[in-house]
Chain A
Amino acid sequence: MLPDFELYEAKSIEEACRLKRDLKARILAGGTDVIVAMHSGALRPAALIDIKRIKALQGIRDTGDALVFGALTSHREIEEDPLYEKTYTALYEGCSQVGSVQIRFRGTLGGNICNAVPSADSIGPLLVFDAKCVVASDTAERTVELSEFFTGPKRTVLQDNEILKEIVVPKPKPGTGSCYIKYTRRKAMDLALCGCSILVSLDSEERIVTARVALTTSAPTPIRAPHAEEYLTGKKAGEVDIAELRRLTVSDAKPRSSWRSSAELRLTLIEELAEQAFQKALARAKGEQS
């Protein structure tokens, strides 16, 4: 049951940002995180600002070299449009495994990012696609690399008067393949015990010209794995020593032990997921069915 609060329906970014700062209010988009947290008593905001009417946060536009997703883009939109499964496969894999269909129709990319849990399914994929966040305040806009957006568990760089406006995802080069593997205990309706996202782009000689590796539930925030990325970049597909890739990926991970899982389990799984995600991303980059 929800505690009492004041509801505001913002009609513009400026209004939303101003209210957010003045009232120390929470933003309400799909509600699948905020409303649930309020039911459990974890969150008792004095006010919620419903931003779903703000046109500038809606829609997906193609700028030529990037897709720009309004923060209100739902997981379901990504799941249903075959373009994403084909060209942004890791993102498709992430968004299609968020909760349930009921959650995915309401939950948004913006909400998933701003909720900022280390297990968020869309974030690892967005990281490997070099996504950037366009952050708006009541007076200005700035762009932040998604990899610099998180400062701690459930903490972001958003100031009191800022909201996430849109997410810019550069279009992948031809010869790119990506994969997100979500490890869970049961096969649905589960948080990632750990997650690994990998993107590779190959040139005509099957040399890896771009490599991105992201890990979720492996650190206080979603992270990139720079050692693994550095290792892969410039190598021909056949030159990659999988054991080395596994070792380097896990070297960047700092998972903690909790009642949910030991760090030892997470580290063991991250190695395995890195190998599997790489093989899949590579196969897809080569145009093989996977």
Chain B
Amino acid sequence: MKTKEINVCINGQQYIRTINVAMTLAEFIRDEIGLTGTKIGCNEGECGACTVLLSGKPVASCTVLAAEADNCDVLTIEGLSGDELHPLQQAFLDVGAVQCGFCTPGMIMNAKAILDRNPHPTESYVRKNMEGNICRCTGYNRIIEAILLAAERMS
């Protein structure tokens, strides 16, 4: 097939669309659905800016076809905050872990995946599990601090 009808649940909302199978999940989220919080930084799976949770797992959405997300749940940065910010979002603000902000959504989504599977991670666990997210502004260590702070606040 060159096109496929897919049924994807994004941030709790159901979307049924017919798409070109060459469309990546990142493009689907951004261009088809209009949620532009997920960023495209490299299309190589190397920078992590496009990280979303696909069926609960952090993936580089530029390396996933939209077609592969058929009948799956996707969580993007927009789905994280309701009336209040998620503790991760709040912690990033409180610690000063945001500068230009382009890497931030991918950072937060990967961090969410970390805390989902390991609510009390060590600093080295966080550092290793965040290795796929690149930042040019912050020097990284405040981001680790923010994730550990969020973990503390959530427990």
A interface, CB within 8 angstroms of B:
1-8, 28, 30-32, 35-36, 39-40, 50, 52, 76, 99-103, 105-106, 187-189
Contact = CB atoms under 8 A, between A and B. Distances in A.
Contact of A102 (B1, B23, B65, B110): B110
Interface residues of B, number: 33
Contact of A50 (B48, B68, B128): B68
A189 B45 CA distance: 10
A17 B67 CA distance: 21
A52 B131 contact: no
A105 B114 CA distance: 13
In order of increasing CB-CB distance, the 9 nearest A-B pairs are A100-B132, A188-B131, A7-B21, A2-B22, A39-B43, A102-B60, A105-B57, A35-B63, A102-B132
B84 interface: no
Interface in B36-87: 43-46, 48, 51, 57-60, 62-65, 67-68
A6 B1 contact: yes
A181 B129 CA distance: 19
B104 interface: no
A31 B68 contact: yes
Given A99-B45, A101-B110, A103-B45, A7 B67 contact: yes
A101 B113 CA distance: 10
Given A7-B65, A100-B132, A102-B60, 17 more contacts: A2-B24, A4-B2, A6-B1, A7-B1, A7-B4, A31-B65, A31-B68, A35-B63, A36-B45, A40-B43, A50-B67, A99-B132, A101-B132, A102-B45, A103-B45, A106-B60, A188-B132
A31 B130 CA distance: 20
B20 interface: yes
B60 A1 contact: no
A30 B35 CA distance: 24
Given A39-B43, A40-B44, A106 B22 contact: no
A35 B21 contact: no
A50 to B, nearest CB: 7
A31 B133 CA distance: 19
Interface of B: 1-2, 4, 20-24, 43-46, 48, 51, 57-60, 62-65, 67-68, 110, 113, 128-134
A285 B97 CA distance: 44
Contacts of A99: 45-46, 132
A188 B130 CA distance: 10
Contacts of B113: 101
B126 to A, nearest CB: 11
Nearest to B113: A101
Given A35-B64, A188-B131, A105 B22 contact: no
A102 B51 contact: yes
Contacts of A4: 2, 20, 22
Nearest to A38: B22
A198 to B, nearest CB: 23
Nearest to A6: B2
A106 B64 contact: yes
Contact of A5 (B22, B46, B58): B22
Given A52-B68, A99-B45, A3 B22 contact: yes
Nearest to A31: B63
Contacts of B131: 100-101, 187-189
A36 B46 CA distance: 10
A189 B46 contact: yes
A102 B67 contact: no
